[in-house]
Chains A and B, each alone.
Chain A
Amino acid sequence: MKSKSKNNNQLLMTLLKGRTFIVLIVLVIFFSFASKSFLSLTTLTMVAKHVALYGILALGMTFVIITGGIDLSVGSVVGLVGMLAGGLIQEGLTIGSKTIYFSVPLIIIFMLLFGCLVGLINGLIVTKLKVAPFIATLGTMYICRGFANLRSGGATFSNIKGYEGLGNTGFKVLGSNFLGIPAGVFIFAILAIIAAILLKKVPFGWYVLAVGGNEKSARLSGIKADKVKIIVYIISAFCAAWVGMINTAQLSAAHPASGDGWEMNAIAATVLGGTSMAGGSGTIIGTIVGAFVIGVINDGMTMCGVSEFWQKVIRGCVIILAVVIDQTQRNLQAKMALQARNENK
């Protein structure tokens, strides 16, 4: 009798652990029946394109949330980086009477560095000025969005092809397909591998978990908690800078409102992937699956003709449900640990 309930618990546990993946498969099956064109190559490529954008943001967000923080500024960084990159290609950089046009690799490097700078600022505000992460990044969210609009007075940079004569063509590569797969997906894959290594295979990953699990103990163990926190915000903004460029290249234009609200998709993907908002636990693979769920729900509902308004309602329900299930899993885990402990006695 007892062992049966234990087996049931274990089965339930396995199902719960793989729940996001199960949900993903159910969603794909559901949408392929609901909409005939869902399982086509064009649709799947489009879904992958969107998933890559949310996914890259969610990778960085995972680090931040594991330390117990949050980064609301990523959506605005996407917009601002797009505008800065677009501006550098279309207008160049004017210093005094001279205008310099940079080559595309240089622009990419500048944009990544700029992303790191925003992350550094976020990290410093959180650690040195001791502002709550929610407020600090809410502030930089508005600041970045403001600058994105100021860069062009609200207008769009529509020429991101560059000029042959100036040697700054090629930015569109970030938005094109290779072997039928969008470049963004490749970048997502590479960044995901790097993120997984960072979290699992090097000491830094332990420090991130430690700071999120018990910050005081982390300090007592000689871990520089402030440094760890600053680095996770840099990682997050670095990821956002990639998304800013990929998005601009995909759209063939830089618009100051780009990325508006994407931080919420990133947070949703992270939480769906099992990262605890309280900090201390989370995995990269979970976040990837979470990003796919968000992407499939969004595009699937659009294809089925669900109105944009209802989509929001449904997305909200999915997120709350995910967290409720997450807590159920944790409670069950605690119960099983207690059971195992009593049996050992």
Chain B
Amino acid sequence: MFDDPNVVLHCEKIDKIYPGTLALDQVSFDLLKGKVNVLIGENGAGKSTLMKMIAGIEQPSAGKMYMDGQEVFFKDTNAARAKGIGIIHQELSLFPNMTVYQNIYIGHEKKSGVFLNDAEHRKGADVILKRLEHEIPADTMVGDLRVGQQQMVEIARNLIQDDLRVLIMDEPTSSLSAAEVKVLFKIMRELLEQGISIVYISHRLEEIMEIGDHVTILRDGKYVADADVKDIELSWIVENMVGKNTQYHRFERSIDLTKAEKILEIKNMCLPKQGGGYLLDHVDMYLKKGEVLGIYGLLGAGRSELFECLMGMHPEHTGEVIYEGKPMKIGSISGQIKRGLALVPEDRQRQGLIQTLDICKNTSIASMGSFRSGPFLNNGAEEKAVDAQISDLHIKVADKKLPILSLSGGNQQKVVIAKGLLTKPTVLLMDEPSRGIDIGAKTEVFEIIHEFSERGLSIIVISSELKEIMAIADRIYVLSNGKCTGELEGDEITEDNLVRASYAGLGTGASAEA
């Protein structure tokens, strides 16, 4: 049925359901033979999920895959590998405690009899690393290598496979320097000549225009469009990636922000990265009283790290922070909370909530100290304060003594916000406050943000969803590769400007130090 000789693998209406979310929704995808197939989409669009299906790491909830005109099903990575499919993971999947040659050959050991043939391993590793123009001694521990070198080892692992037909590369260049990217592209062209097909996921649009042959765009787990690279332009990609349909209503502000004073100012903030380079690279920004400040950027741009620095989680950062007109020396987390900073963290389950406690305790835990009579907890005061928050934020709760997990994702998120608000903050930091909640709850969260900013609370919101951040933020900073690459206000806030700025820091030369 699907016997097109130009297609090495065909996915037919793939669904993938995770508890609570539909990560892939009826996605069909043709993997073209001997081409660089590029997958594009925002964070969470389903690119990596689709590739996990093809590599056998996870299995589709519904839908079929075909190779050579026959249906295939990969129950694990071995099954996919047997069909010649290799994957280079987004997050490195190496063994830091083992040597370079062990990492390259594990799973494909060369043996003489029952014994490992380490001489051949070392020789093979040397050959393959020479081809990659990275002559790393084969006996080096991988944990001792730079991230870029580790990435090369990860690539080398896949190249030793003789029967490789498909190589999936999930953001392989995110930790490579410009020179390393060049080598990688050279290798990719060699592989194409050998008839190997490549799937390439990257956020660096200019790279895609350089190396890609065919582009497929996903959005919210759905297929959106595909086209040959030679027929398209960057703006076409951005347009399809972001979409036109979902529109949030833009909030009108009653406060005149031009006259508001600066409540928080960050000057020259740097956070060094392990192994060289910066997670935050000389960032300057300010926040006005009552303002909703947006921070937009790709994954790994340094957004969460900025919040973590402000909350005192990275004592190694440098730079100056001026808070309410005075220089602030950032100490402990509890000290920052006392000063009036509150964080709504990105990962609700792991950082935001304590699953074993009930709704009431989750709301009050950060401000427990203020509900006391003498050395004892004053339960009455605590419950009164929690009740006030529940009604203020319209949290739908049958009984506040119920377990926190009995709430929907949206209401859990509101509890996390309530917890932050209960500490009576002057500045509220919100990291992806709309992640993983449904559209109705999103709108409600945005209304909360708007309402509290009208009351004079200063808020910084991180979001990787363009439409959202454009709807709620008065002003937006764009971070890219740790650098502040844009400050947009009013009419300057357009999708195109945001997207372009979010790639600006990735300029091939700029990341040479990474």
List the interface of chain A (C-beta within 8 A of B): 197, 200-203, 205-207, 209-210, 212-214, 216-223, 280-281, 333-334, 337-338, 340-341
Contact = CB atoms under 8 A, between A and B. Distances in A.
A337 B115 contact: no
Interface string B88-118: 0100011111100010001101010011100
Contacts of B94: 214, 217
A223 B97 contact: no
Contacts of A341: 144-146, 275
B391 to A, nearest CB: 42
B97 A337 contact: no
Contacts of B93: 214, 216-217, 220-221
B49 interface: no
Interface of B: 57, 76-78, 81, 89, 93-98, 102, 106-107, 109, 111, 114-116, 141, 143-146, 275
A214 B95 contact: yes
A221 B102 CA distance: 12
Contacts of A219: 77
A333 B140 CA distance: 12
Given A202-B116, A223-B106, A223-B107, 14 more contacts: A209-B102, A210-B106, A213-B95, A213-B97, A213-B98, A214-B93, A214-B96, A214-B97, A216-B93, A219-B77, A221-B77, A221-B107, A222-B81, A337-B144
Contacts of B107: 221-223
A214 B92 CA distance: 11
Contact of A212 (B97, B115, B116): B97
Given A201-B115, A220-B89, A206 B96 contact: no
B52 to A, nearest CB: 10
User: Dominant SS at the A interface?
Assistant: helix
B98 A209 contact: yes
Contacts of A213: 95-98
B97 A206 contact: no
A202 B146 contact: no
26 contacts: A197-B115, A201-B115, A201-B116, A202-B114, A202-B116, A203-B111, A206-B102, A206-B109, A209-B95, A209-B98, A210-B106, A212-B97, A217-B95, A220-B77, A220-B89, A221-B77, A221-B93, A221-B106, A221-B107, A222-B77, A222-B107, A280-B96, A280-B97, A334-B144, A337-B141, A341-B275
Contacts of B95: 209-210, 213-214, 217-218, 280
B126 to A, nearest CB: 17
Contacts of B102: 206, 209
A203 B116 contact: yes
**Max count, chain B CB within 10 A of own CB: residue among A200, A205, A337:** A337
Contacts of B57: 220
A219 B107 CA distance: 10
Contacts of A202: 114-116
List the 4 closest pairs (A to B, CB-CB), nearest first.
A337-B144, A280-B97, A217-B93, A213-B97
B53 to A, nearest CB: 14
B129 to A, nearest CB: 15
A217 B93 CA distance: 5
User: Dominant SS at the B interface?
Assistant: loop
Nearest to A223: B107
Contacts of A216: 93
Contacts of A280: 95-97
A206 B115 contact: no
A210 B115 CA distance: 18
Contact of B97 (A200, A203, A207, A281): A281
A206 B107 CA distance: 9
Nearest to A276: B97
Nearest to A216: B93
Nearest to B154: A217
A212 B106 CA distance: 14
B457 to A, nearest CB: 40
A206 B98 contact: yes
Contacts of B98: 206, 209-210, 213
A280 B141 CA distance: 12
A67 B78 CA distance: 22
Nearest to A203: B109
Contacts of B109: 203, 206
Nearest to A281: B97
B328 to A, nearest CB: 32
A232 to B, nearest CB: 16
Nearest to A220: B93
A219 B78 CA distance: 10
A89 B107 CA distance: 46
B174 to A, nearest CB: 18
A250 B469 CA distance: 76
A332 to B, nearest CB: 12
A246 B76 CA distance: 44
Nearest to A207: B106
B85 to A, nearest CB: 12
A333 to B, nearest CB: 8
Nearest to B81: A222
A340 B149 CA distance: 14
A85 to B, nearest CB: 31
**Max count, chain B CB within 10 A of own CB: residue among A219, A222, A333, A334:** A222
A222 B115 contact: no
A216 B94 CA distance: 10
A93 B265 CA distance: 83
A212 B98 CA distance: 10
A317 B275 CA distance: 36
A222 B79 CA distance: 9
A201 B97 CA distance: 17
A274 to B, nearest CB: 13
Contacts of B111: 203
Nearest to A282: B97
Contacts of B97: 209, 212-214, 280-281
Contact of B78 (A197, A210, A222): A222
A334 B98 CA distance: 14
Nearest to A209: B98
B179 to A, nearest CB: 12
A319 B71 CA distance: 58
A22 B114 CA distance: 35
A200 B111 CA distance: 13
Nearest to B78: A222
Contacts of A214: 93-97
Contacts of A337: 141, 143-144
**Max count, chain A CB within 10 A of own CB: residue among B81, B107, B146, B275:** B107
Nearest to A336: B144
Contacts of A197: 115
Nearest to B114: A202
Nearest to B89: A220
A196 to B, nearest CB: 12
Contacts of B114: 202
B331 to A, nearest CB: 25
Nearest to B80: A222
A221 to B, nearest CB: 4
A206 B275 CA distance: 27
Contacts of A221: 77, 93, 106-107
A108 to B, nearest CB: 25
